[in-house]
Chain A
Amino acid sequence: MNYVLPSLRLWLATILICVVGYTGLMLVFAQTMAPYQANGSIIEVDGQAVGSELVAQDFSSPRYFWPRPSAASYDGMGAAGSNLSPTSADLAARAAETVARYGATAGNPVPADLVAASGGGLDPHISLDGALYQADRVAAARGLDPAWVRDLIEQQAAAPGAIFAPERIVNVLQLNLALDRLEE
């Protein structure tokens, strides 16, 4: 009895403060200060939700830039990595398929991020090189000047972490939206 009642009172106190109070406060804070982010960074075009800025979606048409491979088939409810060892034969086989899809050759090798699946399978970015690699295909499919498409990529590319992570990356959904917008 010396221990049971205090344990139950401690249960109630911590539930009220650490669960109800804390969660409620953070909900109010996030929904007030950053409602767009708090609800999943959902992008709307003409009132229609077309995706989350932060979540990769599948693009397979040559008119669009393609994201990194996804071990989860871009399922927003079942994110996962491949969990294959870098020495795995299965990984080599999967990579060979991706390489074939891009038509890469020894003279025109594809950047690694377009071949390697991300940790969650929903990485919304590709590297600057990965975007430039696809510029000619997209330009041809849309009948655009490749130089114009490359300019667009350069405008969208940014370093994610200043001097700490200087390799520039591009958000695939935003790049594709910009393409659609500018072509209209």
Chain B
Amino acid sequence: MLSAILTTILIVGGTALLAWPLGIYMAGLFSGRFASADGLFARTVGGAPEQDWKQYSIALFAFNIVMFGFVFALLATQHMLPFNPDGQGAASLDLVFNTTASFTTNTNLQHYSAESTWSYLAQIGGLMWLQFVSAATGIAALAALARGIGGKPTMGNFFVDVQRASFCVLLPLAMIVAAVIALNGVPMTLQGAAQVTTLEGVAQTIARGPAAAFVAIKQLGTNGGGFFGPNSTHPLENPTFWSNAFEMVAIILIPMACVWMFGRIIGRPKHAMVVFGVMAALLLIKLVASVGFETAPTQAFMDLPVTQDVGNLEGKELRLGATTGPLWAVLTTSTSNGSVGAMHDSLNPLTGLVPMAGMWLNETFGGVGVGMINMFLYIVVAVFVAGMMVGRTPEYLGHRIEGREMRLAVLALISHPVLILGGTALFAATAWGQDTLNNAGAHGFSEILYEFSSAAANNGSGFEGLGDNTVPWNIATGLVMLIGRYLPIIVPLAIVGSLMAKRRSAESAGTLSVESSTFGVMLFITILIFGALTFFPAAALGPIAEHLTSMR
């Protein structure tokens, strides 16, 4: 128990300390503090005119279409291209579509095992590139939103923002993380798989490749797509306890920093503190629940002569320590990362509910940039509800929240449960889902529910027993990922665009202060009611039913 508490403090507390200066740096970066770099970035793309919300959104779409098109072509033709030492063949087009959608949307849902599917060129030139620029797209969108809501006349320039995020935030951090994990044992080579003869004389082929570079940005950009099939449970992707610590810090570092960045760009750091507090409180609840539930021993071993004194070990790696499984599961689903440090399918039923809840809420730090954007939607709703309760015009930072903004915010928020529950209902009722399950009964239902939650939240982790490389799964989750990505980015920009067009009023004594603890509590309750209760019936059918019927 002591080591669990110490590990949690080391990872979460340590990252919170690092996130503060990073957030200040990012706020400066996106406020134009480094003029010479900005000039270079503007020349690179041939000029950087200021954009309103529509122009910014079109630019975002245009570049994301280039991202999708380039990587689709690269993945579809990988078998004819170089850097393919292990001779990977052509992949099916539905898998290419799903994978491209997955990495373009920062999801990194993987319906394949990478070491037996993609060439090094496809992984590095296609997927890793998307891990940089999709993360940069999210950070850029947050910067634009913050400028607009903070009172700037325009939203900035998308093409410059992406370069700021890619070259000045993601790249330097990725180089540090890649260097550390490479020294710890993550391979970094262009050679093909290693051929060895084991001590008992059997041939063993061991996949390797340029993994360290890939794993670093996968962790930092809330991407989560592994270089190897079982992600960071694979010993070559996560070789030691210390590589593991670094990889976990990398999961939440930028999402945390994004809150501080938002607060400073809008000029209200105290408001950011309240938001950070609400996110941290939700994160803490999930951590305690997850780590607690996972100390229950493996149910299936109960009637056998097995000594179980460290909790459920199925699907876990010994070198990462007993706390890593549940801790990583919470961090990776609180953010939209989706990498795993233990197999989520084999978590105890109630532990498995916690990552699902994380993806349903999707803003307890959330994805890089987009987590804070999701929180902005909840803030709009919370401000509106609070305003109605006391009978005053709801205002946020001097902007009057009216029917139009509320309709847009609710549209974006409601799309999340519609995608998840609608998809789950369809696949649970038909052979599309039923024939692909690895576990029977309530746990099978959880596998489907998890998959759609992961796709809609742009998370990318999975109950990996699901046989999801089928045409229906590839197409359905591909579409869900695309809608679940762009709707919650464009709609908030539209809300801010609408607010920017109105006259801003001064905050008076009658305005609910967004820097107060009252506001924090209001926000917390809004998230719980709106986010959590929507999904409670589905949770009851899956993990809760399994716990009640099977656990002793």
Query: CB within 8 Å of B: which residues of A?
Result: 3-11, 13-15, 17-19, 22-23, 25-27, 29-31, 33-34, 37-42, 48-61, 64, 68, 74-89, 91-92, 95-96, 99, 104-106, 108-113, 115-127, 129, 160-161, 163-167, 169, 173, 176-177, 180
Residues of B within 8 A of A108 (CB): 305
Which residues of the other chain, B, contact A82 by a CB distance below 8 angstroms?
A: 314-315, 343, 346, 465
Pick from B160-168, B279-287, B512-520 the stretch touching chain A: B160-168
- Residues of A contacting B316 with CB < 8 Å? 116, 118-119
* Residue B340 CB within 8 A of the other chain: yes
Q: Which of A83, A87, A96, A109 contacts B465 (CB 8 A)?
A: A83
B residues near A17, Cβ cutoff 8 Å: 166-167, 171
C-alpha spacing A41/B196, complex, angstroms? 12
| Interface presence of B363 (CB below 8 A) | no
**One of B125-133, B370-378, B488-496 at the interface:** B125-133
DSSP class of B's interface residues: helix, strand, loop or mixed? mixed
Residue of A nearest to B241 (CB): A161
Q: Is the interface of A mostly helix, strand, loop or mixed?
A: mixed
Pair B196/A85 contact, Cβ less than 8 Å: no
Q: In the complex, which residue of chain B has the Cβ closest to the Cβ of A9?
A: B45
Please count the residue pairs between chain A and chain B whose beta carbons lie under 8 angstroms apart in the complex: 389
Cβ of A110: which chain B residues have Cβ within 8 Å of it? 305-307
Pairs of residues from A and B, 4 with the lowest C-beta to C-beta distance, nearest first:
A119-B233, A165-B321, A83-B465, A161-B241
- On whether the beta carbons of A176 and B199 are closer than 8 Å, the reply is yes
Note all chain B residues with C-beta closer than 8 A to A180: 199
A37 with B317: CB separation less than 8 A: no
Complex contacts, A61 vs chain B, CB 8 Å = 200
Q: Which residues of A contact B45 (CB under 8 A)?
A: 6, 9-10, 13
Q: Chain A residues near B194: list those with CB within 8 A.
A: 39-40, 42, 49, 52, 76
Chain B contact residues, CB within 8 Å of chain A: 3, 6-7, 10, 44-47, 58-59, 62-63, 65-67, 70, 113, 115-116, 124-125, 128-129, 132-133, 136, 159, 162-163, 166-167, 170-171, 174-175, 178-179, 182-191, 193-200, 202, 204-208, 210, 212-213, 228-230, 233-236, 239-242, 244-245, 297-301, 303-310, 312-323, 340-343, 345-349, 438-440, 443, 463-465, 546, 550-551
In the complex, chain B residues whose CB is within 8 Å of the CB of A57: 196, 198-200, 202, 204
Residue in contact with B190 in the complex, picked from A9, A27, A59, A109, CB distance below 8 Å: A27
Q: A5-B46, A83-B343, A127-B318 known; A31 and B197 CB under 8 Å?
A: no
Between A and B, 24 residue pairs with Cβ closer than 8 Å are A11-B66, A14-B132, A15-B125, A19-B125, A22-B213, A29-B182, A49-B194, A49-B195, A49-B197, A57-B199, A57-B202, A77-B116, A82-B315, A84-B346, A85-B349, A87-B546, A87-B550, A87-B551, A95-B300, A112-B297, A115-B304, A117-B314, A125-B318, A167-B310
CB pair B3 A165 closer than 8 Å: yes
